């Protein structure tokens, strides 16, 4: 046997250990499933077996699901149908063996791993933090196809099962026990004792009655058909509100569960199988799976050959929205945070901001009041430069004012250790310029977080010309520790994300000035899948910020990124967006309405069609993205796409900006860019990279066009 080890003791208690050779994880590849299948056939006839425990030999991993590579590669209905049927039949076989089976869940138990566990008679989980149980298939654009939609609700109830699958929720052992998903939950060290206890009770014939008495299953009202109809409708409404219908998988989960309810397992599995068949072949699923693999690569990416240092004590200077958010992200990882503030009032304000983020988490039941209090104890503040001598890391998040920032660095250099890292959260100022005047510029680096810090996963890591490798390695590691995805970008005005995003926002303002309709443009972008329209985004970021960045980008990139005169005019009128209740929209009432005076700033009256809006908005970004690749601002198209998805909310179902570009094709992009250039100006001139790619018939994601 290659994947499983098998043994049985004198009492007839058998143990099957999943132990994929030369791998840190256990995955149900077709080969592993075949071996499992053969084993079940063999064990089925063994009359001596009293119980079969299924365990894993991997540290922190029980089973990480079916093989996502195989799902990605499937390219026809017959193939995917056979693949899913194979998994379904296997777990039905497991469910029907003539002895009790017990999944011993210590570590990650996802997708096919949980579906196997659901087919077992009982499940025991550990309380360890690495134990995470769930069906995350919806995140990959598919649904649990090995019986997950058919078996889960029988344990946790109809509404809960929909919630768990649709939300791709991962549960800790204790929560899984509370919901009835597992039958016992013990600390890891007690797993063997629990196993012995279960084994003995099975031998004594008392376990099943005990467990059945505790199981929750469907709530009484969920058995009433009209109630289920209401639950189903509500669940769909919630999904549509969240996804605007761009993601078919969560809706399909709800349909499958509704339709198959009350039917035989065989019929239910058929319905489930057909739904997976439809979903797995969609470009949406292929795109989401591609993004999953990019995120797996980024998890391992260190962007440096040097060894990272440990950060135990940190300090923050500049405790506005960003500084407080970053302080929270550090403190949440139990890293000491010392705030350098101008006054005790600003310290109090920052503490309230940090506390508010924790309150949100507490409300969702993720942290207790005691845990929050313990964390908050690790935040201190000072108005003078005292108590910073042991800090390993300083993050500066003051106003975008070079002189102010440099003054602060000089003051901190007097009190910090020589090897403490100094990072700036600047979104627009050159890191190399900021480092001028520093005694130790090698330890200075850019760490550009996105707002709101607690929700946005991206951190752009920017090396100045003197930043050393150890500094990069350390901030990359620290960002990951903070639960973020760091992507190293080369120093260039706007770094990566804002450099691509700003031309898009600017283009929206130009379309408006020419006569375009704000609401129509925003709706077109929303329909494409953007999380909010361009004008709504400018209002959210702040028209003044947009105007300021557009000046910086104009200075750096010249003609193709003109300063926004419209935004300047709006700043003059104090129409700064949400913070002033007025920008392109008016935020005076509950629901934003159009700022009725905004049309006074319109210069022309040319109406635009949706196609032109999309072409101008998206191709200006694609063109700039290719310039970023050309200049090595980012390592590759995949990282760029991930940065845009995480930093701007570019629709994940489209796979990212350049993956979307691949669906149009480089030749067509160049053709449209040339048309746009003739109509609207040289900013649409296709980049050299695009022309080169067209000549070589290349695509962004590899392979010929």
Write down the least CB distance from residue 316 to ligand COA, Å. Answer: 29
Closer by beta carbon to ligand COA, 69 or else 242: 69
Cβ neighbours of 227 (radius 10 Å):
15
Write down the least CB distance from residue 73 to ligand COA, Å. Answer: 11
Whose CA is closest to 92, among 68, 111, 118, 114? 118
Rg (CA), the chain: 28
What DSSP letter does each residue of 290-302 carry, written as one string? HHHHHHHHHHH--
Cα 325 from chain centre:
18
For residues 432 and 462, give the distance between their C-alpha atoms in angstroms, rounded to a whole number: 10
Write down the least CB distance from residue 264 to ligand COA, Å. Answer: 24
Token pair recorded at residue 267:
């019929």
Residue 673 to residues 276, 574, 612, 704, Cα–Cα distance (Å): 38, 35, 11, 21
Closer by beta carbon to ligand COA, 296 or else 631: 296
Closer by beta carbon to ligand COA, 440 or else 480: 480
Write down the least CB distance from residue 113 to ligand COA, Å. Answer: 7
Q: Strand 184-186 to strand 122-126: parallel, antiparallel, or no bridges (unpaired)?
A: parallel
Write down the least CB distance from residue 108 to ligand COA, Å. Answer: 5
Say if CB 554 and CB 565 are below 8 A apart.
no
448 is catalytic: yes
Write down the least CB distance from residue 112 to ligand COA, Å. Answer: 5
Q: Residue of minimal CB distance from ligand COA? A: 111
For residues 376 and 348, give the distance between their C-alpha atoms in angstroms, rounded to a whole number: 12
Closer by beta carbon to ligand COA, 168 or else 238: 168
Closer by beta carbon to ligand COA, 64 or else 202: 64
For residues 54 and 95, give the distance between their C-alpha atoms in angstroms, rounded to a whole number: 13
Cα 655 from chain centre:
13
Q: How far apart are the first and last CA of the chain?
A: 43
Measure the CA dihedral 610/614/616/620, to 10°: 180
Closer by beta carbon to ligand COA, 291 or else 379: 291
Write down the least CB distance from residue 64 to ligand COA, Å. Answer: 4
Token pair recorded at residue 544:
């003044």
Q: Which of 45, 130, 448, 688 is catalytic?
A: 448
> Strand, coil or helix: what is 677?
helix
- Sole residue written with tokens 């600017």: 506
Closer by beta carbon to ligand COA, 291 or else 350: 291
Closer by beta carbon to ligand COA, 144 or else 268: 144
> Strand, coil or helix: what is 50?
coil
Judged by the rule CB under 6 A, the positions of this chain that interact with ligand COA are 24-25, 27, 61, 64-69, 108, 110-112, 136-137, 296, 299
Provide the edge-to-edge strand list for the sheet that holds 379-382.
379-382, 336-340, 313-317, 393-396, 421-424, 444-449, 458-463, 485-489
Q: Strand 585-586 to strand 485-489: parallel, antiparallel, or no bridges (unpaired)?
A: unpaired
Closer by beta carbon to ligand COA, 134 or else 446: 134
- Asked if the peptide bond before residue 671 counts as cis, ω within 30 degrees of 0, the response is no
Token pair recorded at residue 402:
């070079």
Say if CB 622 and CB 661 are below 8 A apart.
yes
Residue 701 to residues 75, 111, 229, 516, 655, Cα–Cα distance (Å): 18, 27, 43, 34, 11
Say if CB 147 and CB 161 are below 8 A apart.
no
> Strand, coil or helix: what is 493?
coil
Write down the least CB distance from residue 67 to ligand COA, Å. Answer: 5
- Sole residue written with tokens 């550009």: 448
Write down the least CB distance from residue 57 to ligand COA, Å. Answer: 14
The region that residue 289 occupies, defined by phi over 0 for left and psi between -120 and 50 for alpha, beta otherwise, is: alpha
- Sole residue written with tokens 């299924």: 54
Write down the least CB distance from residue 295 to ligand COA, Å. Answer: 9
Residues noted as catalytic:
448
């Amino acid at each position: 046997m290659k994947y499983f080890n098998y043994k049985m003791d004198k009492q007839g208690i058998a143990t099957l250990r999943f132990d994929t050779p030369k791998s840190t994880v256990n995955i149900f590849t077709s080969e592993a499933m075949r071996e499992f299948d053969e084993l079940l056939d063999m064990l089925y006839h063994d009359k001596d077996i009293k119980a079969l425990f299924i365990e894993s030999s991997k540290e922190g991993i029980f089973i990480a699901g079916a093989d996502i590579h195989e799902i990605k590669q499937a390219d026809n209905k017959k193939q995917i149908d056979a693949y899913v049927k194979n998994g379904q039949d296997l777990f039905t076989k497991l469910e029907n063996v003539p002895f009790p089976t017990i999944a011993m869940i210590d570590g990650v138990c996802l997708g096919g791993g949980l579906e196997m566990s659901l087919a077992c008679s009982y499940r025991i989980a550990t309380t360890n933090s690495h134990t995470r149980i769930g069906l995350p298939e919806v995140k990959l654009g598919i649904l649990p196809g090995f019986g997950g939609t058919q078996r889960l609700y029988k344990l946790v109830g109809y509404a809960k099962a929909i919630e768990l699958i649709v939300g791709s929720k991962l549960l800790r052992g204790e929560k899984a026990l509370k919901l009835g998903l597992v039958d016992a939950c013990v600390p890891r060290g007690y797993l063997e004792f629990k196993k012995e206890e279960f084994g003995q009770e099975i031998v004594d014939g008392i376990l099943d009655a005990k467990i059945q008495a505790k199981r929750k299953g469907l709530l009484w009202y969920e058995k009433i058909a009209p109630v289920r109809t209401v639950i189903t409708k509500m669940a769909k409404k919630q999904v549509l509100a969240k996804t605007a219908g761009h993601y078919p998988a969560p809706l399909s989960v709800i349909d499958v569960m509704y339709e198959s309810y009350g039917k035989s397992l065989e019929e239910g599995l058929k319905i489930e199988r057909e739904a997976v068949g439809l979903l797995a072949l969609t470009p949406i699923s292929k795109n989401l799976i591609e993004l999953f693999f990019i995120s797996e690569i980024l998890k391992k990416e260190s962007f440096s050959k040097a060894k990272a240092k440990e950060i135990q004590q940190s300090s923050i200077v500049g405790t506005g929205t960003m500084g407080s958010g970053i302080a929270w992200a550090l403190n949440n990882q139990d890293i000491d945070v010392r705030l350098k503030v101008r006054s005790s009032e600003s310290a109090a304000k920052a503490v309230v901001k940090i506390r508010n983020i924790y309150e949100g988490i507490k409300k969702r039941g993720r942290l207790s009041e005691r845990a929050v209090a313990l964390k908050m104890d690790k935040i201190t503040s000072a108005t003078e430069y005292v108590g910073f001598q042991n800090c390993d890391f300083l993050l500066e998040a003051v106003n975008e004012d070079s002189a102010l920032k440099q003054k602060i660095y000089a003051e901190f250099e007097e009190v910090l250790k020589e090897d403490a890292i100094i990072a700036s959260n600047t979104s627009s100022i050159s890191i190399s310029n900021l480092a001028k005047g520093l005694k130790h510029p090698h330890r200075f680096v850019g760490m550009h977080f996105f707002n709101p810090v607690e929700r946005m996963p991206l951190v752009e890591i920017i090396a100045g010309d003197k930043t050393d490798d150890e500094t990069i390695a350390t901030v990359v590691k620290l960002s990951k520790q903070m639960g973020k995805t760091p992507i190293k970008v080369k120093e260039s005005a706007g770094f990566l994300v804002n450099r691509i995003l700003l031309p898009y926002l600017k283009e929206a303002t130009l379309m408006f000035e020419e006569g375009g309709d704000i609401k129509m443009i925003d709706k077109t972008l929303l329909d494409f899948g953007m999380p909010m329209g361009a004008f709504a985004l400018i209002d959210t970021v702040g028209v003044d910020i947009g105007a300021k960045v557009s000046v910086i980008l104009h200075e750096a990139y010249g003609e193709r990124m003109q300063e926004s005169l419209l935004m300047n005019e709006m700043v003059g009128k104090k129409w700064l967006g949400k913070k002033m209740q007025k920008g392109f929209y008016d935020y005076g009432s509950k629901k934003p309405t159009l700022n009725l005076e905004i049309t006074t700033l319109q210069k022309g009256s040319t109406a635009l069609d949706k196609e032109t809006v999309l072409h101008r908005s998206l191709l200006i970004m694609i063109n700039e993205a290719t310039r970023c690749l050309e200049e090595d601002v980012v390592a590759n198209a995949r990282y760029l796409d991930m940065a845009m998805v995480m930093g701007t909310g570019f629709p994940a179902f489209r796979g990212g900006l350049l993956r979307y570009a691949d669906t149009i094709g480089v030749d067509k992009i160049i053709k449209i860019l040339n048309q746009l250039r003739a109509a609207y100006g040289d900013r649409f001139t296709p980049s050299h990279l695009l022309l080169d790619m067209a000549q070589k018939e290349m695509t962004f994601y590899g392979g010929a066009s």
